[in-house]
Structure 1
């Protein structure tokens, strides 16, 4: 899109910040993030085939939760921080210095200015979907032609999304970044890298200049937990590369992963400091889950309109353990079976049957979470029994994130490793 500038009181005269869309807040932000397909109670009177097609809309519904709002604010502020060092004059100076370093074979100078944060949450929480909804509020490319009556011919890429290679290969990640830029701007970075058979060291030295010259504000690295499967020091080298990129290119980096990457991020202080940010557990048994459930429950395509009773709501939380992806799939398969079998009712029996037949692969995992959430262990002390909360109890009863769970575990004399292992043990691909 062609740049449209909106004056910024904090960063006057910065075209890269003024070209970003104005920051949204409150109801305006929630409305922009939400996606609620049209629905009418009369849809329940349609033929079964049509209702089964309409039922697939459950997967496209998006109800913003506090996680999404916090993620939007974090991404917007990271973009502001990254672009605060961008001016046409500083860019020309940086490009000259970076080109000279490439010609001489030395590393690019560290310019700082970049920031980073992590988004860590259990599988099925909706991290990638939340990212997609937030990023949809930003243009992927912005074309600058003139600014305040002066020529400014360049492109701006507010964000790029790449996935961590399965083998934590730095070279594979860089080539993926080149492919993303080529697809957006029609450049030939990837072709040139393949043609010249550039080594990883050469690619690393060139990457900062390419990101900076194309005015990339935020690099989102998804599926970061892949580095935990790399044997040896591959994972640490990958994290060190990201830290180097933040310093040399001055761009922001968002690292997205599951709790499996938690320990590796905290192995060294630099990575832990760079990875501070957003950490989320399953949805707590409270208002957040209720909001999501009420939104999804409205989309009933069975002929009988089932009322959401407190008892049914309690069962749904117990069966899904506050994992949004499981909740959506359970409601979908329960309605699908009800329509196909002619039951035409979304009651507890139908939901439980769908859980056992359609979600069998994760049923045992969810049952274990349910048991451990309500379990208490007793340790004899001086002939008496004292109640001690298990790590799972800490997570569920507090309804807080991993950091808070670790603090609670420490106060209760539990090993932090027990909290980590509880998350890692239960992690499955949902």
Structure 2
């Protein structure tokens, strides 16, 4: 959820997460134990759990294709929420998980350092240099690291970071924590906070946004308490640092970092960020375009700790395995009357017209379907997609052409794409090598999709089985047994055959057990309804067709989407 605030005439969006009372769990890792800030966090997620959390698929039903075009145009818009777990998402989640927990190691509120920092004064701690051991004025050493996510506009940087942050509660309220004779009183812990670098790039505006954001989240009154016409920029910075320490901010994410002013003003802002991290232990996450690379280079010049956890470069997808995985899954969501398979020509056209930029791909896919529906063509073709691209991507066409050319001079015209090869290369070298997860995540993604599909099939098959006059408990028992025989890997039609056969076998077995031994005159069975399953079975044998085929002809075996809305 997001809320909008007005900052100097500019509307800024505030990302709002969930809030909860502290529930302490065993963090398992020895160094994390005895720290309420860490013990109150959710368990560390596995790769599978992260993938399932990130995966967001549009609500799709085959029967929606029969709806009027006016409605289907709206259905297509659901694709905007489409999100698929890619290697970059896993890397960001893993890094943030480490940053938050490692950052709290040096900020345990049960430690004497927590109270001492307020007794000595945040202002004095910020102004005093670290000693040779890297300790601040009160003798505490920061365990905070910083991290950068860099990429062109529209590549999905902000979405990736926000999705990860929302996996954690934003605010945790502590009231009763006791361990080893130590007690923690009332404390509102801000696990994460996301800000945007203001349009004017000033430190004063940045601090004002910080107070407004915290007030929205905690329902406090810091802005009116600290911000007035007489307050200096330095005083605001000190107060902001104080609130970060008071509420134990786990990570401060700063988006649109490329907006920062150049020259002396930029240096002051960067110095403040470095001091917040190195002297008070607040982990920082910078998000920006390639235009920000010179500023990140300045951060490196201010000390290795400023880079800490390294950086992720979110470049457009290359036309490789990852691109194919992304587009193949996306292509499933077609609300046109005629669903077309993803051919090599269509794949090539989509890549050529978007150059693998996520936002461009999603938009082109949506607009192409809406055009096809609105003008009665009702299917996607290469020529249609090219036509739509001319009208809908015209504002970014020069950028797409530059990316397609691959030429340095063409790309360097747009500092959002690349600020200069020398600075970028130097920055990458200084940060070291990243972990590659492409092959592993591809397999994991398929497993996640299969699990999701299997759950949907299970629900459908239970409803299907209950049409045979079974109780829900009996239906669940049969479907579970049927899916266990093949681990749920067969397609839905095959599963229906197995379930139907098991129901009939069960009925026959029950009939044999209750058969009366003495001969009685044959009864003529009257079937009051044409769709009585017993009558259908009888006629199927007579017509020498399979029971499943007969059930389908009578409309009892429905398509998979019949029960999905």
Q: Is the 8 A contact 1:144 1:152 kept in 2?
A: yes
Structure 1 residue 99, shift from structure 2 partner: 4.4
Structure 1 residue 277, shift from structure 2 partner: 1.8
Instruction: Please give the alpha-carbon distance, in whole angstroms, between the structure 2 residues aligned to 1:104 and 1:114.
Output: 20
Q: Is the 8 A contact 2:122 2:241 kept in 1?
A: no
Partner of 2:216: 183
Listed as ranges, the matches of 1:12-161 within 5 Å are 12-90=33-111, 93-101=113-121, 107=127, 109=136, 111=140, 112-148=142-178, 150-161=183-194
Change (3 A) 1:343 1:22: same
Instruction: Please give the alpha-carbon distance, in whole angstroms, between the structure 2 residues aligned to 1:267 and 1:102.
Output: 25
SS in 2 for 1:137: coil
Partner of 1:395: none
Change (3 A) 1:405 1:291: farther
Larger radius of gyration: 2
SS in 2 for 1:38: coil
The partner residue of 1:174 within 181, 192, 207 is: 207
Structure 1 residue 405, shift from structure 2 partner: 8.3
Instruction: Please give the alpha-carbon distance, in whole angstroms, between the structure 1 residues aligned to 2:109 and 2:76.
Output: 51
Instruction: Please give the alpha-carbon distance, in whole angstroms, between the structure 1 residues aligned to 2:292 and 2:271.
Output: 14
Structure 1 residue 100, shift from structure 2 partner: 3.5
Q: Is the 8 A contact 2:277 2:283 kept in 1?
A: yes
Q: Is the 8 A contact 1:225 1:258 kept in 2?
A: yes
SS in 1 for 2:263: coil
| TM-score normalised by structure 2 residue count | 0.63
Partner of 1:365: 399
Q: Is the 8 A contact 2:147 2:284 kept in 1?
A: yes
Q: Is the 8 A contact 2:122 2:242 kept in 1?
A: no
Structure 1 residue 195, shift from structure 2 partner: 4.0
Q: Is the 8 A contact 1:220 1:256 kept in 2?
A: yes
1:26-45 CA distances to partner (integer Å, 9 max, x unpaired)? 22210111111221222211
Structure 1 residue 257, shift from structure 2 partner: 0.2
1:94-136 CA distances to partner (integer Å, 9 max, x unpaired)? 4443343368798365642221111111111100111121111
Structure 1 residue 239, shift from structure 2 partner: 1.4
Structure 1 residue 88, shift from structure 2 partner: 2.7
1:256 corresponds to 2:290: no
Structure 1 residue 182, shift from structure 2 partner: 1.4
Instruction: Please give the alpha-carbon distance, in whole angstroms, between the structure 1 residues aligned to 2:125 and 2:88.
Output: 44
Instruction: Please give the alpha-carbon distance, in whole angstroms, between the structure 2 residues aligned to 1:355 and 1:208.
Output: 47
Change (3 A) 1:249 1:405: closer
Q: Is the 8 A contact 1:266 1:272 kept in 2?
A: no
SS in 2 for 1:306: coil
Root mean square deviation of aligned Cα? 2.6
Q: Is the 8 A contact 1:125 1:324 kept in 2?
A: yes
Change (3 A) 1:114 1:164: same
Structure 1 residue 151, shift from structure 2 partner: 4.9
SS in 2 for 1:216: coil
The farther-off stretch of 79-88 and 97-106 is 97-106
Instruction: Please give the alpha-carbon distance, in whole angstroms, between the structure 1 residues aligned to 2:34 and 2:365.
Output: 51
Instruction: Please give the alpha-carbon distance, in whole angstroms, between the structure 1 residues aligned to 2:303 and 2:368.
Output: 43
1:309 corresponds to 2:343: yes
Structure 1 residue 226, shift from structure 2 partner: 0.6
Instruction: Please give the alpha-carbon distance, in whole angstroms, between the structure 2 residues aligned to 1:102 and 1:267.
Output: 25
Instruction: Please give the alpha-carbon distance, in whole angstroms, between the structure 2 residues aligned to 1:301 and 1:145.
Output: 51
Structure 1 residue 201, shift from structure 2 partner: 1.1
The farther-off stretch of 155-164 and 19-28 is 19-28
The alignment covers a number of residue pairs equal to: 382
Instruction: Please give the alpha-carbon distance, in whole angstroms, between the structure 2 residues aligned to 1:219 and 1:99.
Output: 24
SS in 2 for 1:220: strand
1:70-112 CA distances to partner (integer Å, 9 max, x unpaired)? 000111100011111122333x544443343368798365642
Instruction: Please give the alpha-carbon distance, in whole angstroms, between the structure 1 residues aligned to 2:176 and 2:186.
Output: 7
Instruction: Please give the alpha-carbon distance, in whole angstroms, between the structure 1 residues aligned to 2:123 and 2:170.
Output: 31
Q: Is the 8 A contact 2:157 2:314 kept in 1?
A: no
Instruction: Please give the alpha-carbon distance, in whole angstroms, between the structure 2 residues aligned to 1:288 and 1:405.
Output: 24
Structure 1 residue 362, shift from structure 2 partner: 1.3
Change (3 A) 1:175 1:284: same
Partner of 2:26: 7
| TM-score normalised by structure 1 residue count | 0.82
SS in 1 for 2:173: strand
